[in-house]
Amino acid sequence: MDELVVKRNFTDIYTQKFPDDYLEEMKRLHYRIPDKTKILYLSLAKQLYKKLSRSINILDIGSSYGINSALMKHDLEMSDLDDFFLQEDGTSLEQTRQFFEKMPSNDNLNFYQIDISNPALQFSEDVKLCKKGICVNLETDSLPLKEIPSLDMIIATGCIGYIGFKAFSNLFELIKKQQTKYSQSDIDKPIFAFSVLRIFDMEKIRQTFDYYGYSLVRTDLDPIRQRRFSDSDERHQTISLLKSKGIDVKGFEDDGHFYAHFYVASPKRLENHLISMSRHMEKNVQIEN
């Protein structure tokens, strides 16, 4: 069974000019994983900031409307975005700019975003949730070297599975070009952090990381709840798929939700440092599903 056939496609609500429809549907499905991954990403970003003593350049792949950026830069939760964007009278672009401008902002985080939805990226740029939005298909398109600076961290919440090992090969080729352009060493290469639903097989992605000299590690964090199943078919097919792979769903998907593992990655030469960062993150972050 194809994992992407199991999971509902939300393309229609990712391509609107404003995030209202997206947020309304995610609220209905109790999609709250960005609230949980936020604190994991921030833990890693703070460790990088302490090490580098400068602002951190973060690339968010599958960024959609810049949700990760909104939550991380402005210390918000999904419910805060719901309260603002899902007002009965709606919101304008100018009101949205003012909303974020009034919020405290972590200026040590510089976001760059990649997505296949140009309207979603344009919105994120317009309200200053990112420095630059790049509309490309990571599976097939070349990445514009001039538009992406030297990166410190690459994150993804929810898009792994829709994108696979070819997308990561594309990213690693970009990193190789940046290494030449900016005279980078392994110490300067970005770390990765992302959540992946338990239905997706990570073997080809793991092999890709290994080929490019990276260690990919699944953290010891408990699986993170992503969202409710959209209907009984999605639930039945997901649980059937997991059981066919020998994955125990008791206490997880059988409660009616998707669950995801959390991964981190770094150059192999820095694997000990990666493990140290990961353990520090796990020790200092408490996630409640």
Beta bridge partners of 133: 113
d(CA 168, CA 150): 17
In tens, the pLDDT along 102-126 reads 999 999 999 999 999 999 999 999 9
Question: Is residue 173 exposed (0-12), middle (13-18) or buried (19+ Cβ within 10 Å)?
Answer: middle
Give the span between the Cα atoms of 27 and 78, in whole angstroms: 8
Q: How far is 142 from 170, CA to CA, in rounded Å?
A: 7
Q: Which CATH number fits domain 11-229+261-284: 3.30.70.360, 3.40.50.920, 3.40.50.150, 1.10.760.10?
A: 3.40.50.150
Q: Where are the domains of the chain?
A: 11-229+261-284
Following DSSP, what letter does each residue of 159-216 receive, concatenated?
-BTTB-HHHHHHHHHHHHHHHHHTT--GGGSPEEEEEEETTS--HHHHHHHHHTTEEE
Question: Which stretches of 210-277 are assigned E, i.e. beta strand?
Answer: 214-218, 224-228, 257-267
Does the structure show a pLDDT above 90 at 272? no
Helix axes 20-28, 78-85, angle to 10 degrees: 130
Query: What is the predicted pLDDT for the residue at 223?
Result: 95
Comparing CA positions, the residue from 123, 25, 39, 23 lying closest to residue 79 is 23
Enter the DSSP assignment of 145: G
Per-residue model confidence (pLDDT) at position 225: 97
CA distances from 187 to 48, 94, 173 (A): 11, 41, 17
Residues 156-179: tens digit of each pLDDT: 998 998 899 999 999 999 998 888
Q: Which of 64-68, 123-127, 179-183, 255-259 has the lowest mean pLDDT?
A: 179-183
Between 20 and 183, the more confident residue is 20
The answer to whether the CB of 193 falls within 8 A of the CB of 153 is: yes
pLDDT tier at 59, thresholds 50, 70, 90: very high
Share of the chain above pLDDT 70, in %: 94
CA 182 to CA 95: how far, in whole Å? Answer: 39
Q: How confident is the model at residue 186 (pLDDT cuts 50, 70, 90)?
A: low
Question: What percent of the chain shows pLDDT beyond 90?
Answer: 77
Q: Is pTM, for the whole model, over 0.75?
A: yes
Residue range 205-253, pLDDT digits in tens:
999 999 999 999 999 999 999 999 999 999 999 999 999 999 999 999 9
Closest CA to 214 of 163, 179, 162, 261: 179
- No. of helices (H) and no. of strands (E), the chain: 12, 8
Residue pair 191/246 in contact by the 8 Å Cβ criterion: no
What's the chain's average pLDDT? 92
Query: For position 3, what pLDDT does the model report?
Result: 64
The residues facing 260 across adjacent strands are 197, 224
